[in-house]
């Protein structure tokens, strides 16, 4: 659905918990937020997370915001607070190979569905970041820049981002040539240079044009 349920309204100054409070007022609780990390990366897994925050002061996470707006140190602090305070949370990791088979949009939707399904508490309502997700089994709302305006989405965003960053740092140990610990698999000039020299590894997504180009150039060059 694209609008809030009848009777639920949010003031512009409602803050990060405005959506959850508005939904609780009309009897829709608990409210889950879902988000992903790594959709735009050309290497590494796609990670999706879901989170339900408790009502009241315990659900107010110090420093919580969109994970992309936080420093790595602040994200780690928020992560620890979220996993300790959340009513429940879950995380799903889709490998790069699965992203290639499914395509990024389908993989993204599938990962969000799986994350929601893994919550041990069934939500009454779901908030998603940016676009709607069908087949959740409960009503929901897509929120533009949801990780900046809804606490449960921001919490899911932090869980997904921290989990993925840790995975990419571990992958650097297996594939040190690419600098995964720095750029986390996203397209940067340094990453492109290493792709041109070494070609893609098993963690690169073949659906991305820059990865296919690097592979074809390396194969073509080696055949000359």
State in Å, rounded, how far the first CA of the chain is from the last one: 56
Give 1's pLDDT tier (boundaries 50, 70, 90).
very low
- Residues 148, 180, single domain; the answer is no
Task: Identify the band that residue 136 occupies on the pLDDT scale cut at 50, 70 and 90.
Answer: confident
* Residue among 156, 14, 10, 18 nearest 87 (CA): 156
The DSSP secondary structure of 172-207, one letter per residue, reads HHH-GGG-HHHHTT---HHHHHHHHHH---TTB-TT
Of the candidates 111, 221, 213, 97, the one whose C-alpha atom is nearest the C-alpha of residue 163 is: 111
Shared domain for 84 and 192, answered yes or no, is no
Condensed to tens digits (0 to 9), the pLDDT of residues 69-114 reads 889 999 999 999 999 999 999 999 999 999 999 999 999 999 999 9
Is the domain of 182 the same as that of 144?
Answer: no
* Among 148, 169, 190, residue at a domain's last position: 169
Residues 179 and 84 both lie in one domain: no
Residues 68 and 139 in one domain: yes
- Closest by alpha carbon to 153, among 4, 40, 11, 19? 19
- pLDDT the model gives residue 217: 84
The predicted-structure confidence for 171-217, as pLDDT tens digits, reads as follows: 999 999 999 999 999 999 999 999 999 999 999 999 999 999 998 88
Percent of the chain with pLDDT over 90: 75
In a domain, 70, yes or no: yes
Pair 91, 78 in one domain? yes
How many domains is the chain built from? 2
Whether residues 182 and 161 share a domain: the answer is no
Domain span holding position 70: 18-169
Q: Looking at the structure, do residues 37 and 63 belong to the same domain, yes or no?
A: yes
Measured distance CA(141)–CA(75) in Å, rounded: 25
214 and 180 both lie in a single domain: yes
Does 47 share its domain with 155?
Answer: yes
Supply the pLDDT for residue 91: 98
pLDDT digits (tens, 9 = 90+) for 105-119: 999 999 999 999 999
Report pLDDT for 14: 58
Identify whether residues 130 and 68 lie together within a single domain.
yes
Mean pLDDT is lowest, of 18-22, 86-90, 114-118, 165-169, for 18-22
CATH number of the CATH domain containing 60: 3.30.420.10
In a domain, 11, yes or no: no
> Quick count: other Cβ atoms within 10 Å of Cβ 83?
15
Domain membership of residue 103 (yes or no) is yes
Contact 133, 64 (CB under 8 A): no
In the structure, what pLDDT confidence band is assigned to residue 223 with cuts at 50, 70 and 90? very low
Q: What is the pLDDT of residue 9?
A: 63
Is the pLDDT at 224 greater than 60? The verdict is: no
């Amino acid at each position: 659905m694209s609008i809030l349920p009848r009777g639920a309204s949010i003031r512009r100054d409602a803050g990060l918990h405005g959506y959850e409070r508005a939904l609780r007022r009309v009897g829709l609780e608990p409210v889950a937020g879902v988000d992903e990390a790594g959709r735009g990366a050309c290497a590494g897994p796609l990670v999706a997370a879901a989170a339900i925050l408790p009502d009241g002061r315990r659900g107010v996470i110090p420093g919580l915001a969109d994970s992309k707006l936080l420093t790595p140190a602040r994200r780690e602090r928020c992560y620890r607070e979220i996993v300790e305070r959340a009513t429940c949370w879950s995380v799903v990791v889709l490998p790069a190979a699965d992203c290639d088979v499914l395509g990024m949009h389908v993989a993204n939707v599938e990962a969000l569905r799986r994350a929601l399904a893994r919550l041990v508490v069934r939500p009454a309502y779901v908030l998603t970041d940016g676009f709607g997700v069908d087949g959740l089994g409960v009503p929901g709302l897509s929120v533009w820049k949801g990780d900046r305006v809804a606490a449960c989405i921001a919490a899911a965003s932090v869980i997904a981002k921290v989990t993925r960053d840790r995975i990419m740092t571990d992958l650097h140990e297996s594939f040190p040539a690419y600098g995964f610990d720095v750029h986390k698999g996203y397209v940067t000039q340094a990453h492109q240079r290493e792709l041109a020299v070494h070609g893609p590894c098993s963690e690169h997504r073949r659906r991305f044009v820059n990865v296919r180009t690097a592979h074809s150039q390396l194969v073509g060059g080696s055949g000359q």
